[in-house]
Structure 1
């Protein structure tokens, strides 16, 4: 049984999250402080972490920063405010996705499942058991960028680039569909596997992070280009 760590200091919310995740078939463990959550996440074998932002001891942002320095376990942030700055900060630190309080428990479960599925595909491809998208492994290229869908390695101008599972999935999808413009909603649905309503910021932040990592000049991207009013595209060579 896959286990999910819930790091939440509000007992009522923690128990609600636990109940819905367990009904969905997950095992759960609870932590009520930042330091406790960080310790449990580092010591345990969890399929995902549901992480509140406002925690005693260490904030969710600090916990997330430490987790990303140590590994790539999927992290779903739970924020108390709907301000874009909170969401952008968390996504910028490497969160896979977020929900805003008050949230639908079923949406939280769906996002946890989607994040775990993405991480599993990444591990399987890296081990050589499957290729990205279930097809034959291949190399996707654009402007000095090489993505190996068999190993999930990404090279930019001859240097190996470290990407999160979600960043890799987004980049590989765009490269596999060169010449097609995708809106933020369409990318969220295709890459995250969920209804995109209200989650445009998630895609935008991941696009910006990708540009910082793979573009020679992120301020003037040559690979992932913006089509004003329409979305994003990787143009045909």
Structure 2
């Protein structure tokens, strides 16, 4: 494990990043870019050590290689999600749909395919960290706050408490990742309105994000399963074929 800290009082001081990759030179390059952006950075080269370190340092973001020896990135992310809500960016050597789905299915927020630009990676991380942990008002497709809507939104048996970032179904809490919650928060801010995938990308990931819009479909799918929402007969999140998604009860 290697740990480095930014200068005291620097612009981004206070954000903690954990970089997990068995390719030592690559891990050091990623860490150097994050340090330039004033992150406090810890590097690990295996999954077992990374789990212990994550419990200790409580990172805000984890950059995680999918192909780690021993405990691989998928299992590490699965275990990480049992105690941490850190943003997770998965690094994969193969740009295939199955890699994307496997990585995101265990709670990763984004993925980057090797080889990648460290600047792009840092830009994605910055965009994620601009997303608030709490919110008191919804956002529009243009990212504008709507002060007129209530912070708790009710769709039949489903309640979305924006202020506490909690979701309840039949009065029982539903455990969502940050990204899954943020997608529901965006969709529920304009019930009945159709959101395109690009609008959801801009509202949830931020405008600098670049990548496959399929990322939205994967996270919507996870949220639906946790809500028991059948895509063929949805109660809450409806697919508008060829366009995107809308939220509301009924068809």
TM-score between the two structures when normalised by the length of structure 1: 0.89
* Equivalent of 2:40 in 27, 35, 38: 27
User: Cα offset for 1:194?
Assistant: 3.4
Instruction: Point out the structure with the larger helix share.
Output: 1
Residue deviations 1:96-115, cap 9 Å, x none? 11111111212211221233
Q: CA RMSD in A?
A: 1.9
- Aligned counterparts of 2:48 and 2:231: Cα–Cα separation in 1: 35
Q: How does 1:73-152 map to 2 (within 5 A)?
A: 73-118=86-131, 121-122=132-133, 125=134, 131-133=136-138, 135=147, 138-152=151-165
* Equivalent of 1:69 in 77, 82, 85: 82
Residue deviations 1:212-236, cap 9 Å, x none? 1124535421211111111111147
- Aligned counterparts of 2:181 and 2:229: Cα–Cα separation in 1: 18
- The farther-off stretch of 131-140 and 4-13 is 131-140
- 3-state DSSP class of the match of 1:76? strand
Describe the shift of the 1:196–1:111 C-alpha distance in structure 2 as closer, same or farther (beyond 3 A).
Answer: closer
- Count the aligned residue pairs: 229
- 3-state DSSP class of the match of 1:213? helix
Partner of 1:209: 222
- Aligned counterparts of 1:218 and 1:226: Cα–Cα separation in 2: 7
- Aligned counterparts of 1:225 and 1:86: Cα–Cα separation in 2: 26
Asked if structure 1 preserves the Cα contact closer than 8 Å seen for 2:235 and 2:249, the reply is: no
TM-score between the two structures when normalised by the length of structure 2: 0.84
- 3-state DSSP class of the match of 1:69? coil
Partner of 2:53: 40
Asked if structure 1 preserves the Cα contact closer than 8 Å seen for 2:123 and 2:208, the reply is: no
Runs of 4+ in 1 over 3 A off after TM superposition: 132-137, 194-197, 215-219
Structure 2 residue runs of 5 or longer lacking an equivalent are 1-12, 139-144
* Equivalent of 1:4 in 6, 9, 17: 17
Residue deviations 1:86-137, cap 9 Å, x none? 111111111111111111212211221233333xx22xx3xxxx51456576
- The farther-off stretch of 97-106 and 132-141 is 132-141
* Equivalent of 1:171 in 184, 194, 205: 184
Structure 1 residue runs of 5 or longer lacking an equivalent are none
- 3-state DSSP class of the match of 2:43? strand
